[in-house]
Each structure stands twice: as C-alpha cells, then as structure tokens.
Amino acid sequence: MITKGKVLKSTGKWYNVLEQDGEMIVCRLRGKIRMSGLKTTNPVAVGDEVILSPERDDENRGVIVDVEPRRNYIVRKSTNLSKQMQILAANVDRAYLMVTIHSPNTHLAFIDRFLVSAESFRIPCSLLFNKMDQYNEKDLVKIDEIIEKFEAIGYPCHKISTFDEASVNFLKAEIKGKQVMIGGHSGVGKSSLINTIDTDLSARIGEISKAHAQGQHTTTFAEMFPLSSGGFIVDTPGIRAFGIIDIEKEHIGHYFPEMRERMENCKFNNCQHINEPKCAVKEAVENGEIAESRYESYWTMLHEDASENYRKNIYG
C-alpha cells in the first residue's frame, strides 16, 4: 500500500523520511522525479510531504515516487550554479533568521535578502539577535539601532543567548506544533539554539574558526528535527550569501513592506522607484521614513545581473 511521509533530512542521494505511523525510513528518489525539469538542485527538500512506493529493498530502504504540492518554500541560489536554486525548506509556518554582529558579522544586505525571499512566498519572519552575552556597550547600541529599523516595518526582533534558556522560552511556546526554519550564517548558533529549545535533540555544534571569524559548516545538509513538544524545526546549512532568484525584477519592491504600502501613491503604476517623478517611495527615503540601507538593498537587487558574482563578502 502506498504511504505518505515527511522528509526530515536530505543528503543529496538519500532522504530520511518520517512515515505517518512514526517509523523512520531511508529513501531514494524514483528517477522520473529527478528529471522533472525543475530548475532546482534538490527536487525534494526538507519539509516536503512525499508519497512512498510500497516496495522496499533488501535493506528496507524505500522509494519516493512523488512530492505533494508545497504550501511554500524558501530558496537561495545554488552555490555552484547561479541560474538554479536550492530549496532550503518547504512548507514553513515561520522562518527565524539568527543575526550576530561579531564572529560572524551578519550584514544588513544579507538580512534584507533573506526577508525578501521569505516575503515572496508569504512566510512570516522573525529576527533572533544571538550572543547578547558577548557584546560590549557599543555593540548593544548598534543592535538596538538595527532592531528599531526592522521592528518599524513589522518584523519581530528578539535578543537571545543560546546559553540562557530563559531568553528563548518565548520561542518554545511560539513554535509548538508548527514547522519552522532557523537560518543564518555558519557560526551564529543555529544548532546551539535548537539544542537549547529541546535538550533531547543532538544537533552538532561547531566552533568558530578564529582565522576567518566565520563558522565551520557543521551542518552540511538541511535537517528537520521533531520537537518533543510537538512540531518540527529545520536547521539549515550555514548561508554565506543569499542570491535572490525566482523573483521578477518588477516585483521586488512588493516584498519590501515599507515600499509596498507607499507604492499606490506613486504617480506611475509601473514605477520602479529609481528616477521616476513624483515617486512616493523615493520621497519616503529622502524624508527618512524608509531606511537608506533598505533602499540600497532594493536598488542592488533590481540592478544585479543573475550571472554576476553575488557571493561577494558585502553580503556576508
């Protein structure tokens, strides 16, 4: 009998699938899924609901024969193939981006790109400012400035430390029974956070590379963990850059909430908010109602070529 399951881990060729009866089974893809013409490096992603063939091989491994329609997904450009995309997670109720300003430094442009990608698939986002126990007074002022910028446009922001369980208690309640994703650069503390949320989990924790002030890639593949309180949490590979893909240039502005709410006041319906007269968005930037850094991110996304090296360190 054909059964259904949820993909918890992908290692490229093999997938760990949680069947509806609670049994975990290792599966491969039936060939036709791989050749379906999708412009993705991973036709099946963590969080996908899949249909399994009743057949099993000698080692009791299964076969994924189809993927159920996704509610949403969040993507980034493939590391090696810029015209393809990598699906980080599917069927996400909320995405959490972990932010640090040291070891490693999360640049504002990276945050903007992550949020735009999530907005394009209507995935709610929160920002988690980690390592609060490690910052000096100057750092704390900078973090407050960043938080003020993003809370003003509707993104919940939280100060946390993965070594202080009390600081993440709100998160335990917020994600209960949901399927959520944790994203961010390597070394920001994603795996540590997951272990703090649920001490039964065994996500690996990496050490910061002192030579480069960047995290080692301890999470090579995305993995979703069932929570003892109910629900699932996705730990993603550390993301050094976040190229925007699968978004039409003329639609990018719609995924900036502060721009979206002002667009109808522009003189032209097809205003790109660059040189057009009587542009409500440009006026808001000049008046300080829209942060210059956000507008700069928009301008860069609008003008960059898909083939250029978007992985430069300006994005983290």
Q: Does 34 reside within a domain?
A: yes
End-to-end CA distance of the chain: 48
What mean pLDDT do residues 141-153 have?
A: 97
What mean pLDDT do residues 184-211 have?
A: 70
Q: Which of 12-26, 61-75, 232-246, 267-281 has the highest mean pLDDT?
A: 267-281
Q: Does 10 reside within a domain?
A: yes
Asked if residue 144 and residue 272 are part of one domain, the reply reads no
What mean pLDDT do residues 207-214 have?
A: 37
Helical axes 108-120 vs 292-303, angle rounded to 10°: 70
Asked if residue 190 and residue 98 are part of one domain, the reply reads yes
Domain boundary among 37, 67, 97: 67
Asked if residue 292 and residue 265 are part of one domain, the reply reads yes
Instruction: With a cut of 70, say whether residue 187 has pLDDT above it.
Output: yes
pLDDT above 70 covers a percentage of the chain that reads 81
Closest CA to 184 of 247, 131, 138: 131
CATH number for the domain spanning 190: value is 3.40.50.300
Asked if residue 274 and residue 199 are part of one domain, the reply reads no
Q: What is the pLDDT of residue 215?
A: 40
Instruction: With a cut of 70, say whether residue 34 has pLDDT above it.
Output: no
Q: Does 288 reside within a domain?
A: yes
At residue 52 the predicted structure's pLDDT band, cuts being 50, 70 and 90, is: very high
Closest CA to 107 of 11, 19, 214: 214
Q: Does 115 reside within a domain?
A: yes
What mean pLDDT do residues 117-137 have?
A: 94
Domain boundary among 235, 265, 300: 235
What mean pLDDT do residues 278-291 have?
A: 97
Q: Which residue has the higher pLDDT, 281 or 121?
A: 281
Q: Does 110 reside within a domain?
A: yes
Q: Which of 156-160, 165-169, 224-228, 312-316 has the highest mean pLDDT?
A: 156-160
CATH number for the domain spanning 30: value is 2.40.50.140
Instruction: Give the length of the chain.
Output: 316
Asked if residue 111 and residue 135 are part of one domain, the reply reads yes
Q: What is the pLDDT of residue 88?
A: 83
Q: Does 242 reside within a domain?
A: no
Domain boundary among 67, 89, 112: 67
Given a contact cutoff of 8 angstroms between Cβ atoms, the answer to whether 99 and 129 are in contact is yes
Instruction: With a cut of 90, say whether residue 229 has pLDDT above it.
Output: no
Least confident of 2-6, 166-170, 246-250: 246-250
Token digits of residue 5? 């399951």
Q: What is the pLDDT of residue 85?
A: 74
At residue 246 the predicted structure's pLDDT band, cuts being 50, 70 and 90, is: low
Q: What is the domain count for the chain?
A: 3
Asked if residue 170 and residue 144 are part of one domain, the reply reads yes
Asked if residue 201 and residue 109 are part of one domain, the reply reads yes
At residue 38 the predicted structure's pLDDT band, cuts being 50, 70 and 90, is: low
Q: What is the pLDDT of residue 30?
A: 83
Asked if residue 230 and residue 144 are part of one domain, the reply reads yes
User: In angstroms, how far is CA 210 from the centroid of its own chain?
Assistant: 25
Please give the full DSSP string across the chain, using - where no structure is assigned.
Answer: --EEEEEEEE-SS-EEEEETTS-EEEEEE-HHHHTS--SBS-SS-TT-EEEE-S---TT--EEEEEEPPPS-EEEEE-SS-TTSEEEEEES-SEEEEEE-BSSSB--HHHHHHHHHHHHHTT--EEEEE--GGG--HHHHHHHHHHHHHHHTTT--EEE--TT-GGGGHHHHHHHTTSEEEEE--TTSSHHHHHHHH-TT-------EETTTTEE-----S-EEEE-TTSSEEEEPPP-S-----S--GGGGGGGSHHHHTTGGGSSSTT--SSS-TT-HHHHHHHTTSS-HHHHHHHHHHHH--TTS-TTSGGG-
Domain range for 30 is 3-67
Q: Does 131 reside within a domain?
A: yes
Asked if residue 155 and residue 264 are part of one domain, the reply reads no
Instruction: With a cut of 60, say whether residue 193 has pLDDT above it.
Output: yes
Asked if residue 143 and residue 94 are part of one domain, the reply reads yes
Mean per-residue pLDDT over the chain, rounded:
84
Token digits of residue 143? 């973090």
CATH number for the domain spanning 271: value is 1.10.40.50
Q: What is the pLDDT of residue 244?
A: 65
Give the contacts of 256 (CB within 8 A, at least 6 positions apart): 116, 119, 153, 294, 298
Q: What is the pLDDT of residue 84?
A: 67
Q: Does 44 reside within a domain?
A: yes
Asked if residue 188 and residue 112 are part of one domain, the reply reads yes
Give the contacts of 14 (CB within 8 A, at least 6 positions apart): 26, 27, 28, 61
Asked if residue 174 and residue 58 are part of one domain, the reply reads no
What mean pLDDT do residues 107-126 have?
A: 93
